[in-house]
Chain A
Amino acid sequence: MNPIDVIRIATKSFSERKLRAVLTIIGIAIGPLALVMISSVTQGYSKYIVTQIESLGQNLIAVFPSGDYDLTQQDLDFMRSIPGVARAEPFYSTQGRIKIGAEEKDIYIYALPIDFLLQAVSNLEIKGGSIPGPTETVKVVVGYNIAYDENGNSVYRLGDVISITVMRIESGGKVKFKRVSVIISGIFDKYGGAMFLNPDDTIFMNLDAGEKLIGMKKWSGILILVEDSSLVENIATYLRNTYRNSVEIVSFLAIARIASSITNAVNFMTFAASLAAFAVAIAGVAATMITSVIERTKEIGVMKALGFTDRQVLTLILTESLLMSILGGIIGISLGVIGAYALASRGLTISSGTAVITINAHPEINAVLIARTALLTMFVGVIGGLFPAYRAAKIPPAVALRYE
């Protein structure tokens, strides 16, 4: 039999029972819709998060003091002396609050050599102005969300003075507020949400400023820039072995790997959940096709009387279910793509205490996802149609012709 004739006859078969075919196609479409929409959005976020972590510095290691241990110049010198370490710099970090119009906004404050920050964090660029010189303690570089409001309107300009209320918890748990004023010498370009550093909501100042303006005495940590990412793991292990429990070592490369494995697990779970929709679709196709085969028993008898073989009858019925699944797949994948963009446009908001980061990532729609979804949908058609087709093929012609 010519394949075009097979498709023509099969198409006519399900077009006769339009409503039933449409409902079955809708049932089939739910699987690819869910798979494309959910998978592409989660993969988009996953990729974004991993990229962000990696962009924080694949070659970067952060060392934080643990317990009562204080990091000192001696530790810094030791870390700088480790082979493979390109640069190591201490930093202070705290949180503060600034006024934007009538509203108050929580912000982060990082005090560190800003040129080091630009060296370590890829994609972080100055939008306007310049970084303060090493001796300029009152000058700062601010993140995009501090200089601009949600609509992109300028709130603070270069040279403006910002008054920051810094909260400090002193020994004995006493909370102390300190008010400091700084001058904006530079504004960072929009960076986007990041997991550990949120440059858009941060004010960066020189290390000296952290001590002199804010009054911080103990380093919050030391950032180590390694010459090559292949050395990160060895140096991190070396530091762990040296300091034991005195410090916490954070390697962004390792975090990226962990994040990647977590997101892979999330992707797998969403894929598995989508499979449930495909299983339901198989049952739907099977129900539709078995009903169709029963209704057409006599017709199948006529076809056999005219010389159609069992295999040709099987091919016709399978083609019918396959065509329905292809139609369902096209509709489902198309709606899935639209749905993915609609879902992703809302953004993913991660809230941690006062910090709120909204991730806006494009859904990750690629050929592999589309091909995998299309194959799964066609599999639904074949599996759903297999039993009804086999049953139709095996009906003895004389029995089929007697069927009323």
Chain B
Amino acid sequence: MPEIIKLINVKKAYRVGNIVTWGLRGVDLVVEEGEFISIIGPSGSGKTTLLNMLGLLDKPSSGKILIEGIDVSTLGDRELARLRNRMIGFVFQTFNLINRLTVLENIELPLIVRSIPRSKRIELVKKALLMAGGDPSWLKKKPNQLSGGQQQRVAIARAIVGNPRILLADEPTGNLDRASAKIVIQTFKNLHSRGQTIIVVTHDPEVANCTQKIYLLQDGKIIGLKKPDPDKCILVTV
């Protein structure tokens, strides 16, 4: 399968006064189209920093990030925003839904950026919500009227509504109970079976074991690649 993301010796330093802290110390990573991978590591290992790099939310201090062969360091803020909108879908641990907007209005946000007509947007929103395991009856509700698991499915619908090539999930089950976490991972499995590239950052081995590859991150470096144990996937464990 063709490479969709390639990271070459990506480093990220944070400077506070004279103190430099390294978020990433030289990460090399290749993700092929259609892969479902996880990045696992302890707190402070640089998981979220790496996800921000993959999602074009932050720029590396050095190294290269290639998306479909394009070096994103050559792109301006506007092109990066366009790439995020067209290529990448985000799922956050805390859902990050906007509570004053309805579920419909939350999910359609990436489509508003593209100036897609409202009638077409509603159609796409309904389709995305069903794919994310949601219920169309939620559309007029506010996110805070839904349970955590339901909110995360709305967040997944928002992430996939624009048909992105890559789905990035940052601790997607971190704020959910076990039953809800299972539904979310099952949704990812379903999306993956349709060819969606998914990268999940997690500290939960039961989530990582549901993916195809597990990258181990420690102190800002990928220290190994582990084969998942499907028997220890959250979907099969009791």
Q: State how many angstroms separate the Cβ of B219 from the closest Cβ of chain A.
A: 20
Residue in B82, B86, B90 with the greatest tally of chain A CB atoms within 10 Å: B90
Could you say which residues of chain B place their CB within 8 Å of the CB of A302? 90, 92, 96, 98
Asked if A174 is at the interface (CB within 8 A of a chain B CB), the reply is no
Q: Which of A297-318 contact B (CB under 8 A)?
A: 298-299, 301-312
Q: State how many angstroms separate the Cβ of A187 from the closest Cβ of chain B.
A: 70
Do B84 and A305 touch (CB < 8 A)?
yes
A9, A13, A305, A309: the one contacting B78 at CB < 8 Å is A309
Q: State how many angstroms separate the Cβ of B126 from the closest Cβ of chain A.
A: 18
A298, A308, A309: the one contacting B96 at CB < 8 Å is A298
Fill in one digit per residue for B56-81: 1 if any A CB lies within 8 Å of its CB, else 0. Answer: 01100000000000000000011001
Do B77 and A305 touch (CB < 8 A)?
no
Do B113 and A312 touch (CB < 8 A)?
yes
Q: State how many angstroms separate the Cβ of B42 from the closest Cβ of chain A.
A: 19
Query: How big is the A interface, by class?
Result: 20 to 34
Report the nearest B residue to A303, measured CB to CB. Answer: B109
- Taking chain B's interface residues, is the majority helix, strand, or loop, or is none over half, making it mixed? helix
Report the nearest B residue to A4, measured CB to CB. Answer: B118
Q: Which of A1-49 contact B (CB under 8 A)?
A: 1-2, 5, 9, 12-13, 15-16
Q: Within the assembled complex, what's the spacing in Å between the Cα atoms of A396 and B101? A: 23
Do B58 and A306 touch (CB < 8 A)?
no
Q: State how many angstroms separate the Cβ of B208 from the closest Cβ of chain A.
A: 23
Asked if B15 is at the interface (CB within 8 A of a chain A CB), the reply is no
Q: Which of A266-322 contact B (CB under 8 A)?
A: 298-299, 301-312
Q: State how many angstroms separate the Cβ of A324 from the closest Cβ of chain B.
A: 16
Residue in A302, A307, A401 with the greatest tally of chain B CB atoms within 10 Å: A307
Asked if B85 is at the interface (CB within 8 A of a chain A CB), the reply is yes
Could you say which residues of chain A place their CB within 8 Å of the CB of B52? 398, 401
Do B77 and A310 touch (CB < 8 A)?
yes
Do B112 and A1 touch (CB < 8 A)?
yes
Q: State how many angstroms separate the Cβ of B197 from the closest Cβ of chain A.
A: 17
Could you say which residues of chain A place their CB within 8 Å of the CB of B153? none
Asked if A113 is at the interface (CB within 8 A of a chain B CB), the reply is no
Do B84 and A307 touch (CB < 8 A)?
yes
Could you say which residues of chain A place their CB within 8 Å of the CB of B110? 306-307
Q: Within the assembled complex, what's the spacing in Å between the Cα atoms of A311 and B52? A: 21
Do B113 and A306 touch (CB < 8 A)?
yes
A13, A304, A398: the one contacting B100 at CB < 8 Å is A13
Known: A1-B113, A12-B100. A397 touches B57 (CB 8 A): yes
A5, A15, A306: the one contacting B85 at CB < 8 Å is A306
Q: State how many angstroms separate the Cβ of B139 from the closest Cβ of chain A.
A: 16
Report the nearest B residue to A298, measured CB to CB. Answer: B96
Asked if B55 is at the interface (CB within 8 A of a chain A CB), the reply is yes
Q: Within the assembled complex, what's the spacing in Å between the Cα atoms of A397 and B88? A: 14
Do B101 and A305 touch (CB < 8 A)?
no
Q: Within the assembled complex, what's the spacing in Å between the Cα atoms of A301 and B81? A: 12
Known: A396-B58, A401-B57. A307 touches B113 (CB 8 A): yes
Do A309 and B58 touch (CB < 8 A)?
no
Report the nearest B residue to A17, measured CB to CB. Answer: B100
Report the nearest B residue to A6, measured CB to CB. Answer: B112
Residue in B86, B98, B115 with the greatest tally of chain A CB atoms within 10 Å: B98
Q: Which of B39-62 contact A (CB under 8 A)?
A: 52, 55, 57-58
Asked if B182 is at the interface (CB within 8 A of a chain A CB), the reply is no
Do A299 and B113 touch (CB < 8 A)?
no
Q: Within the assembled complex, what's the spacing in Å between the Cα atoms of A301 and B84? A: 12
Known: A298-B96, A396-B58, A398-B52. A1 touches B115 (CB 8 A): yes
Do B77 and A309 touch (CB < 8 A)?
yes
Do A307 and B98 touch (CB < 8 A)?
no
Report the nearest A residue to B55, measured CB to CB. Answer: A305
A16, A307, A398, A401: the one contacting B82 at CB < 8 Å is A307
Do B81 and A308 touch (CB < 8 A)?
yes
Could you say which residues of chain A place their CB within 8 Å of the CB of B109? 303, 306, 308
Report the nearest A residue to B49, measured CB to CB. Answer: A398
Fill in one digit per residue for B85-104: 1 if any A CB lies within 8 Å of its CB, else 0. Answer: 11000101000101011000
A1, A2, A306, A308: the one contacting B158 at CB < 8 Å is A306
Q: Within the assembled complex, what's the spacing in Å between the Cα atoms of A366 and B112? A: 40
Q: State how many angstroms separate the Cβ of A396 from the closest Cβ of chain B.
A: 7
Could you say which residues of chain B place their CB within 8 Å of the CB of A304? 57, 81, 84
Could you say which residues of chain B place their CB within 8 Å of the CB of A15? 100
Fill in one digit per residue for A247-270: 1 if any B CB lies within 8 Å of its CB, else 0. Answer: 000000000000000000000000
Q: Within the assembled complex, what's the spacing in Å between the Cα atoms of A131 and B86? A: 91
Report the nearest B residue to A308, measured CB to CB. Answer: B113
Report the nearest B residue to A400, measured CB to CB. Answer: B57
Known: A305-B55, A305-B90, A309-B78. A16 touches B100 (CB 8 A): yes
Q: State how many angstroms separate the Cβ of B192 from the closest Cβ of chain A.
A: 21
Known: A1-B112, A1-B115. A307 touches B100 (CB 8 A): no
Report the nearest A residue to B170, measured CB to CB. Answer: A401
Known: A306-B110, A307-B85. A299 touches B98 (CB 8 A): yes
Q: State how many angstroms separate the Cβ of B58 from the closest Cβ of chain A.
A: 4
Q: Within the assembled complex, what's the spacing in Å between the Cα atoms of A299 and B95? A: 11
Report the nearest B residue to A394, measured CB to CB. Answer: B77
Could you say which residues of chain A place their CB within 8 Å of the CB of B57? 301, 304-305, 396-398, 401
Q: State how many angstroms separate the Cβ of B111 from the closest Cβ of chain A.
A: 10
Could you say which residues of chain B place their CB within 8 Å of the CB of A9? 101, 105, 112
Do B86 and A307 touch (CB < 8 A)?
yes
A-B contact pairs, 6 of them (CB 8 A): A1-B113, A9-B105, A303-B109, A306-B113, A308-B81, A309-B113
> Given A1-B113, A307-B86, list of 9 further CB < 8 A pairs?
A12-B101, A299-B96, A303-B109, A306-B85, A307-B84, A310-B81, A397-B57, A401-B57, A401-B96
Residues of A within 8 A of B (CB): 1-2, 5, 9, 12-13, 15-16, 298-299, 301-312, 396-398, 401
